Structure 1
Amino acid sequence: MIVLRYVRRVSMERLDRRAFLRRVLGVAGVSALMAACAGGGGATPTPTQAPAATPTAAPAPTPTSAATPTAAAAATPTAAATVSREPIRIGILLTLSGPASPNGEANQRGLRLAFEEAGQAIAGRPFELTIEDSAGQPDQALAKARQLIEQRRVHLLLGITLSNEAAALRDYLHQNQIPTIVTNAALQALTRDPKMRSPYIFRISYANGQYDAPVADYAYNKLGYKRMMGFAADYAAGKEELAAFKARFTKAGGTWVDEIYSPMGTQDFGPYLQRIQQQAGNIDAVFQFHGLSSDAIRLVVQYEEFGLKDQIPLIASGATTDDSILPEMGDAAVGLVSGTVYTASIDRPENKKFVETFRQKYNRVPGQVDYLGYLGGLVARAAIEEVKGNVEDKQALIQAIKGVRIQGPAGEFHIHPESQGPIHNIYICRVAKRGDGTFYNEILETIPNVDDLSF
């Protein structure tokens, strides 16, 4: 468990990460917490509880965020309501160890930045973040959620990395009426299935296929691909992503020739690439999904080495062309077309500020999952501001989340009133290389206001 309490003014521009932790946690807690958070590039953190400072109330600071979150008028507490001066308790549950840890670590980077930008208080109340590691295991996710809710008594839960974790947590969160903002798990049914939806659960990431279906339209109508096959990782997300692309492509008039799946952790894609090569002359392109993973990196590199890149174009999922892993794929990624809800090359003042702030803090370019963590933090802050800090009023808080509208790094964001899922702009991109040798996603087309019920 990691506990961060934001109770005093800290200038984030002037403190490096170690100094910031020393100011917030006290000298005794720095070593343990730094060890717990070591390495954003794959190191496995061992969460430990850090000593916390005594919370004190302070006037609300002027936000310094790259975006200004606001919430539409919803269930605002009455003027007579008494707002507690105790810290707002926010739980963050992410996969921070195991194979999926890069996703959890990226989400955590974005979440921390969003809350650090709030200063020492939100709506005049100090707040604390308690971060727990689910290790990518549904049973552990449920156990950690119980700790956050029953022991830490959090007012709000954010995070949830994997779809199987979301499925395991849904009933518990619903029964305990915990306002929850999902920042990564993309299980379609969570927001698309009326039987699985909960009035307490919101998703700001996306449903599997939400950004792939528009790419299918683009492949058929703009790139002229009429016959395609699919290649995906053999797990729930891979199957849902591929099915969404296939459904939209065939609806547009295309022919689906074949589909193949590889287990996660595949080192040698040769046998699968050979099957694709056998379709040369019979297909125009291949749609691919292997998530934000080392599998995706290996596949793209081996696809070029196998001689297929110039023979049968690869249409990638947005996770594969995430800005954060483009350097590892190098020239093999150049030319890949994909769809995404975020890329660092979005030309908006809010995004330029976000990228610069993120780069200064983490010495890296933000990727889609970093952004989604950041967006989740902005949504939480906006909702808390809307209820004037009265997070004990759960009904007011969930109405505030439902009404949030944010002009953020990727454009306007809001929640679908029926599904409680996200409404995003979808960016169709092509990977390109700059003169200085760096790689980026060149935006070809922007499709506005794509919701999770649109495919």
Structure 2
Amino acid sequence: MTKTRFLRPLPLATAVVFAFAAVPAVAQDTVKMGALATLEGAFTVLGQDGIRGVELALKERNYMAGGKKIELVKGSSNGSPDSAVSAARKLVEQDKVQLLIGPLSGSEGIAVKDYAKTQLQTTFLNGTSGAQEATLSSPAPNFFRFSTDGAQWSAGLGSHSFAKGYKKVVVVAEDYAFPYSQVAGFMMEYCKAGGKVADKHWVPIGTKDYSSVIAKLPADIDAVYVALGGSDAVNFLTQYEQNGGNKPLIGGTITVDQTVLGYKGKRRDSLIGTPASSPIADGNDSAAWKKFVADYKAAFKDGFPSPSLFAHGYYVNTKAALDAMDSVKGDLSANHTALRNVLSTMTLKTPTGDVKLDGNRNAIANMYLTEVAKAADGSLYNKVVKVVPNVNQMLGLSKAEFDKMGIGSRTNPECK
């Protein structure tokens, strides 16, 4: 009797309820977004502000896009390509993120771009990795960069530095892909104007002692072009001051970013007047930038006096993902075909102007020529000298001219 009773067919409505109850609930209305940044190592402070940029873009939308809830999953690297790929692999293959924002550092971007080719079900949007090769060399169809590259960030700086009277300089830069791009962008203009680069000193990320480099700086140079970031920049600036360095500096983009300008020391005020170029400028007086700064300050009491380029870059790429999600109403079917079509063709409204992508899915955007200045409250900021509009990855050159120059490296370009 007992067996017969339990084998008797259930009513249809009850069977349907049991059938659904037996299947694990799948949150079809939730999209997982990964944020990969350097939350350890020499660039930790940079990565923390990058995450603030992601969170700000999500806060503006109440963590919603395309009618779906966005669940944020964070991943950490230390600035090395291997750590970035390891973190990306965890986010994609274990955490199952569908969208990934990052990474932060130059060589990381090249490695993550190559990894993206093996994970076509996921859409990758750059964080702030500035290596030219991330999009110029064998680009991945699912890797998008709305934050431009390091060579683009140098627009206007070379010719401006030469006009200031800096006819001969020495380069001090970290030894990896992003500074190669930065130096190449600077030197393209600087050498064309007639400037000479006497030497280049490439140092490992995380260098603590710069005494040997400082000792080798010749007396007959007009300035030192410094392309260091995070604690590397602070260590160099401090030791340059302690060793009596008195030559003017030309700043690589992240050398005079807010992640460095807030450091304490006598040499800090010596940075006043230092020229640099960047995708952002603290002194930008546009309404869109001022709103971005105000929103950043309101959201992050532990942030910088003004958002760093890392907060900006991660914000811009996250906003692109969210805007595209809205455009396709959250449709991520067929390996995100509709989403990627929108990303490739959209005009993105950002705090620094409109951004469009080129055929390699790399941003065309405004750049800002700046000089360090002191605000009324004593903080340092980058005032705008000039806006260089719509800088593309070819730096205004024809393809033939750009190909002849080539991608930046330890030895390319040269002008001694």
Per the normalisation by structure 1, the TM-score is 0.74
* CA shift digits 1:194-220 (9 cap, x unpaired): xx2122111123323222243112222
The aligned residue for residue 88 of structure 2 is: 145
- By how many angstroms is 1:448 displaced? 0.7
Name the CA distance, whole Å, in 2 between partners of 1:141 and 1:308: 36
The aligned residue for residue 202 of structure 1 is: 144
Aligned counterpart in structure 2 of residue 274 of structure 1, from 198, 215, 225: 215
> Does 2:136 align with 1:192?
yes
User: How many residues are aligned here?
Assistant: 364
Aligned counterpart in structure 2 of residue 262 of structure 1, from 188, 203, 211: 203
Name the CA distance, whole Å, in 2 between partners of 1:233 and 1:145: 24
Q: Aligned with 1:113: secondary structure?
A: helix
The aligned residue for residue 349 of structure 2 is: 407
Name the CA distance, whole Å, in 2 between partners of 1:357 and 1:120: 16
- By how many angstroms is 1:126 displaced? 1.8
* Paired residues for 1:99-114 under 5 Å: 99-114=42-57
Name the CA distance, whole Å, in 2 between partners of 1:147 and 1:357: 31
The aligned residue for residue 316 of structure 1 is: 251
Q: Which amino acid aligns with 2:214?
A: L
CA 1:179–1:224: 2 relative to 1, 3 Å: same
> Does 2:182 align with 1:238?
no
Q: Rg: which structure is higher?
A: 2
Name the CA distance, whole Å, in 2 between partners of 1:113 and 1:166: 22
- By how many angstroms is 1:305 displaced? 4.3
The answer to whether the 8 A contact 1:322-1:343 is kept is no
* CA shift digits 1:226-251 (9 cap, x unpaired): 32222212333333322332233212
Name the CA distance, whole Å, in 1 between partners of 2:135 and 2:67: 32
> Does 2:270 align with 1:332?
yes
Identity of aligned residues (%): 30
Name the CA distance, whole Å, in 1 between partners of 2:157 and 2:363: 18
The answer to whether the 8 A contact 1:204-1:421 is kept is yes
Q: Aligned with 1:248: secondary structure?
A: helix
Name the CA distance, whole Å, in 1 between partners of 2:89 and 2:277: 36
* CA shift digits 1:360-417 (9 cap, x unpaired): 221233111111111111111111111121122412111111123233211222222x
The answer to whether the 8 A contact 1:192-1:453 is kept is no
Per the normalisation by structure 2, the TM-score is 0.80
CA 1:116–1:261: 2 relative to 1, 3 Å: same
Q: Aligned with 1:286: secondary structure?
A: strand
> Does 2:114 align with 1:171?
yes
Gap regions ≥5 residues in structure 2: 1-24, 396-401, 403-416
> Does 2:300 align with 1:359?
no
Q: Which amino acid aligns with 2:114?
A: D
Q: Which amino acid aligns with 1:108?
A: I
The aligned residue for residue 65 of structure 2 is: 122
The answer to whether the 8 A contact 1:231-1:289 is kept is yes
Q: Aligned with 1:184: secondary structure?
A: coil
The answer to whether the 8 A contact 1:93-1:145 is kept is yes
The aligned residue for residue 59 of structure 1 is: none
CA 1:163–1:350: 2 relative to 1, 3 Å: same
Name the CA distance, whole Å, in 2 between partners of 1:297 and 1:183: 23
Name the CA distance, whole Å, in 2 between partners of 1:350 and 1:375: 13
CA 1:270–1:98: 2 relative to 1, 3 Å: closer
Name the CA distance, whole Å, in 2 between partners of 1:335 and 1:448: 23
Q: Aligned with 1:388: secondary structure?
A: coil
The aligned residue for residue 161 of structure 1 is: 104
The answer to whether the 8 A contact 2:45-2:259 is kept is no
Name the CA distance, whole Å, in 2 between partners of 1:152 and 1:270: 44
The answer to whether the 8 A contact 2:372-2:383 is kept is yes
* CA shift digits 1:258-316 (9 cap, x unpaired): 2223333333433322322x332xx332211112x11212322333444443xx32111
CA 1:345–1:126: 2 relative to 1, 3 Å: same
Name the CA distance, whole Å, in 1 between partners of 2:41 and 2:214: 28
CA 1:305–1:184: 2 relative to 1, 3 Å: same
Name the CA distance, whole Å, in 1 between partners of 2:41 and 2:171: 27
CA 1:427–1:152: 2 relative to 1, 3 Å: same
The answer to whether the 8 A contact 1:335-1:430 is kept is yes
Name the CA distance, whole Å, in 2 between partners of 1:306 and 1:335: 21
> Does 2:286 align with 1:348?
yes
Name the CA distance, whole Å, in 2 between partners of 1:453 and 1:131: 33
* Paired residues for 1:42-57 under 5 Å: none
Name the CA distance, whole Å, in 2 between partners of 1:231 and 1:163: 17
Q: Which amino acid aligns with 1:246?
A: M
Name the CA distance, whole Å, in 2 between partners of 1:419 and 1:113: 27
CA 1:141–1:238: 2 relative to 1, 3 Å: closer
The aligned residue for residue 398 of structure 1 is: 340
Q: Which amino acid aligns with 1:398?
A: R
- By how many angstroms is 1:120 displaced? 4.6
- By how many angstroms is 1:447 displaced? 0.5
Q: Looking at secondary structure, tell me which structure has more helix per residue.
A: 2
The aligned residue for residue 22 of structure 2 is: none
- By how many angstroms is 1:187 displaced? 2.0
Aligned counterpart in structure 1 of residue 40 of structure 2, from 75, 90, 97: 97
Q: Which amino acid aligns with 2:84?
A: A
- By how many angstroms is 1:328 displaced? 0.8
CA 1:305–1:332: 2 relative to 1, 3 Å: farther
Name the CA distance, whole Å, in 2 between partners of 1:99 and 1:258: 25
* CA shift digits 1:142-167 (9 cap, x unpaired): 34433333344332211112333333
The aligned residue for residue 299 of structure 1 is: 236
